[in-house]
Amino acid sequence: MPHWTRRRPAGDEGYSLTEVVAAMAVMSVVMVVVTTSLVRMFSDVKRTEQTSYAADQLDVSLGRLDRELRYAIHVSAPALGTDGTRWYMEFAIPGQKLLNGTVSQPRCRQLQLDLTKNTLRLATWDLPSLTPSAPTTLANDVYLDNGARPFTVYQPPSATATTLPNGVIAAVGNKYSTVQLKFRATNGTVDQPVDMAFTSQNITGDTIDSPTTEKRCSQAARP
DSSP state of 188: T
- Write the Ramachandran bin of 191: left for phi over 0, alpha for psi from -120 to 50, otherwise beta: beta
Question: How much is the average pLDDT of 186-196?
Answer: 79
pLDDT at 20 over 80: no
Helix (H) or strand (E) holding 177: strand 176-187
pLDDT at 5 over 70: no
Q: What is the pLDDT of residue 11?
A: 56
Q: What is the pLDDT of residue 222?
A: 87
- How buried is 169 (Cβ within 10 angstroms: 0-12 exposed, 13-18 middle, 19+ buried)? middle
pLDDT tens-place string over residues 170-186? 888 889 999 999 998 88
Distance, CA of 81 to CA of 49 (rounded, Å): 35
Q: What is the pLDDT of residue 102?
A: 86
Q: b/e map of 39-65 (b: 16 or more CB within 10 Å)?
A: eeeeeeeeeeebbeebeebbeebbeeb
pTM of the full predicted structure? 0.73
Percentage of the residues of the chain whose pLDDT score is greater than 90: 35
Q: Regarding predicted confidence, which is higher, 23 or 118?
A: 118
pLDDT at 108 over 80: yes
